[in-house]
Structure 1
């Protein structure tokens, strides 16, 4: 991994195949793919991010998996840990008892949290300050608006926003989204991405050169 202190004003500084981490960050029992970037004060706990995914400042991931080419804006939180509100108190002294010299920790609570993972597909954009609650799945190509609170699953290539988050519109018509998804471009190697960079800059060119003429929208589910 490559550690750097700061980008400063230079937003074009190059990354590399090894993850780039901007101190300080906290990473616990997590996996980072190639060409990934984690900016200052972000925290990953039992999570994984795929190749080319980046996390801006102050992002928190708990029990979260993000696919390739993920875009996570600053101050987003995915999989915030729940408290056991069915107990007489929601305070964590009941399961972090050792911290307060009250006895042994209750590991069942930590197992319960781990059983509610967040699953995020490829090419997903999570907006600034968004919250994705435990147990939610977000499909490939989806967009989550800034400040949204996502309590329900998000369909592929859809845009959601609000509190609670609700569908706003589709990113592309279903037939176009299906054609894009059929290319599985996120699995292309680095050299192929370089060769086809210009094609990514125009939708029609990309579809003409790389997508099937038709694709079943049902495959998006």
Structure 2
């Protein structure tokens, strides 16, 4: 059995560039993460690409997920990346930083405790609310509210995980911000929704 630890666990085949990884995180094989924040306890199963994104805590990212995939300048004569990766093609001695700044301005933001299914694609500029579920193979082009299950191409809301009053109570409790000590103390409560709400609700 592989045990995780407080410091991030990064597979040897994965690449981390200019990114911050939280505690108890894991990046599975062939994960690429660039200019992103990856929250505590979140993990990728592998073969994932995450660029210009903010990922919350306790997120479960299945294999072959792409978050903020590459974008091309359709407004130019050619959309080929030689127009912004100029150095690689020896057209210029520097790349087009304005284009990359444009991409950075369209970050993906993912809340806490989000489950993203196998092969899903989260398009630039999209926000996914805390507690949401994104179905396998979905292409998310619009914001998804908290605790919503979304599926399809393009992804559309299927149903809510919990009634609104329960979802609102969970959002108020913010258990994902608990200390490790408090998580350990109340770990069993996380497996029983009714008990959890009863004990931890904020009046």
Fold match by TM threshold 0.5 = yes
**Helix, strand or coil at the partner of 1:153:** coil
Once the 2 structures are TM-superposed, how far is the Cα of residue 30 of structure 1 from its aligned partner? Answer: 0.2
Equivalent residue number for residue 126 of structure 1: 116
TM-score by length of 2: 0.97
Q: Distance in 1 between matches of 2:98 and 2:11?
A: 34
C-alpha RMSD over aligned residues: 0.9
Which runs of no fewer than 5 residues in structure 1 stay unpaired? 1-9, 214-221
Per-residue CA deviations over 1:144-175 (Å, capped at 9, x if unaligned) read 00000000000001010000000000010100
Q: Distance in 1 between matches of 2:86 and 2:40?
A: 38
> Of residues 7, 13, 16 in structure 2, which corresponds to 1:24?
13
Q: Which moved more, 1:21-30 or 1:204-213?
A: 204-213
Q: Distance in 1 between matches of 2:117 and 2:95?
A: 35
Once the 2 structures are TM-superposed, how far is the Cα of residue 101 of structure 1 from its aligned partner? Answer: 1.4
> Of residues 53, 62, 69 in structure 2, which corresponds to 1:73?
62
Which runs of no fewer than 5 residues in structure 2 stay unpaired? none
Equivalent residue number for residue 198 of structure 1: 188
Equivalent residue number for residue 37 of structure 2: 48
Residues 1:99 and 2:88 are matched in the alignment: yes
For 1:1-221, what aligned pairs fall within 5 Å after superposition? 10=1, 13-103=2-92, 104-212=94-202
Once the 2 structures are TM-superposed, how far is the Cα of residue 181 of structure 1 from its aligned partner? Answer: 1.2
TM-score by length of 1: 0.89
**Helix, strand or coil at the partner of 1:119:** strand
Per-residue CA deviations over 1:105-124 (Å, capped at 9, x if unaligned) read 21111111001000000111
Per-residue CA deviations over 1:16-40 (Å, capped at 9, x if unaligned) read 1100011111111000000000011
Per-residue CA deviations over 1:164-218 (Å, capped at 9, x if unaligned) read 00000001010010111111100111111111111111111111111136xxxxx
Once the 2 structures are TM-superposed, how far is the Cα of residue 81 of structure 1 from its aligned partner? Answer: 2.0
Number of equivalent positions: 202
